[in-house]
């Protein structure tokens, strides 16, 4: 590696890390402010039904123990300092360190979100290629209607339909949870986990297919209408040859962009899907933290999601180099966001 290239890599990496730090700081400040102006009182939400048996003095002691009696700015500064030291805080509703709660819930959500992300990308890209290569045909119309309907359908609605059809009426799948009710997680078999994962995975996969399919279709139609494609057809090349040799590689560019850019939306969809299927993942923990005013857990999840989506977008930018070599290295490393 030459010295100018090494310097360019270092500058580009420093720029991206600096920008990521600014984004995380802004997200943390906004999330903390929204939590503070929320009408939900963390102490009252924590006490729940026991609030009638707790007096004002005890509430004040709980608030003092959690540092809620201090000024909001003081609370934010202390929380930020703890974050920099690796301390994410203590979850009020789970009575455990936030890092442990996120770690355990993350490993439950990872198969759901990861497989849904992968399958939606593969299926969306395949449907988009088929629709674009057969533009105007009945296959194209069917795929477009399918994609448009799904893009307008809320995730919870899709999840409820799947739950009613396959769990309630047909009885092919479990109604809820990540394993059989009454069985400790250590005793849940791999096949049981797959059965409980199937419906939430189907709901999330269906949710993520439409955007990838529609963007891939548009790119494929554009490629087939290029002068180079028309010239190849005049030379005797079939449409299938053009699609396989030129279309797939070029259509992959917007598909990769949409796929990585949809990480945040996919996590948002997982929150709704996990609620419908009572799937004990990170999405369900997010809802519980919001309802019960568990500020440390809610802020930590927000930061983790921001970091996750930002890194995904950075990876998408890096993959441009593999998909389209015409993109200059300088643009790739020093802020040339093409998504």
Cα separation of 248 and 239, whole Å?
A: 12
Residue 119: pLDDT above 50? yes
In DSSP terms, 97 is beta-bridged to: 90
Residue 269: pLDDT above 60? yes
Residue 9: pLDDT above 60? no
Residue 249 Cα distances to 4, 119, 226, angstroms: 30, 19, 15
Cβ contacts of 252 within 8 Å, gap of 6 or more: 125, 323
Domain 96-333 = CATH 1.10.3720.10: yes
Cα separation of 78 and 229, whole Å?
A: 61
- 265 φ, ψ to 5°? -65, -35
What's the rounded mean pLDDT across residues 293-302?
83
Between 162 and 155, the more confident residue is: 162
Q: Does this model's pTM top 0.85?
A: no
């Amino acid at each position: 590696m030459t010295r100018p290239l090494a310097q360019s890599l270092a500058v580009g990496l420093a720029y991206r890390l600096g920008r990521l730090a600014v984004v995380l700081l802004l997200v943390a400040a906004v999330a903390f402010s929204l939590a503070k102006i929320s009408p939900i009182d963390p102490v009252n939400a924590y006490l729940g039904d026991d609030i009638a048996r707790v007096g004002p003095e005890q509430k004040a002691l709980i608030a003092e123990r959690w540092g809620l009696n201090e000024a909001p700015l003081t609370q934010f500064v202390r929380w930020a300092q703890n974050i920099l030291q690796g301390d994410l805080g203590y979850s009020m509703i789970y009575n455990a360190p936030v890092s442990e709660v996120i770690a355990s819930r993350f490993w439950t959500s990872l198969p759901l979100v990861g497989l849904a992300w992968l399958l939606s990308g593969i299926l969306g890209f395949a449907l988009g290629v088929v629709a674009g290569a057969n533009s105007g045909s009945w296959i194209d119309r069917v795929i477009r209607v399918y994609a448009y309907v799904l893009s307008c359908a809320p995730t919870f609605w899709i999840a409820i339909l799947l739950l009613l059809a396959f769990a309630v009426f047909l009885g092919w799948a479990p109604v809820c949870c990540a394993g059989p009710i009454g069985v400790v997680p250590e005793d849940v078999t791999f096949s049981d986990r797959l059965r409980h994962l199937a419906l939430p995975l189907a709901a999330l996969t269906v949710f993520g297919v439409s955007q990838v399919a529609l963007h891939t279709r548009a790119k494929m139609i554009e490629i087939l209408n290029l002068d180079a494609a028309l010239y190849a057809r005049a030379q005797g090349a079939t449409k299938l040859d053009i699609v396989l040799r030129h279309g797939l590689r070029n259509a992959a560019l917007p598909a990769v962009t949409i796929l990585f850019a949809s990480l945040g939306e996919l996590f948002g969809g997982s929150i709704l899907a996990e609620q419908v299927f009572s799937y004990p993942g990170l999405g369900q923990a997010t809802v519980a933290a919001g309802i019960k005013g568990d500020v440390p857990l809610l802020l930590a999840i927000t930061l983790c999601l921001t970091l996750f989506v930002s890194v995904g977008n950075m990876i998408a930018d890096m993959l441009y180099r593999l998909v389209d070599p015409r993109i200059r290295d300088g643009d790739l490393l020093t802020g040339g966001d093409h998504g």
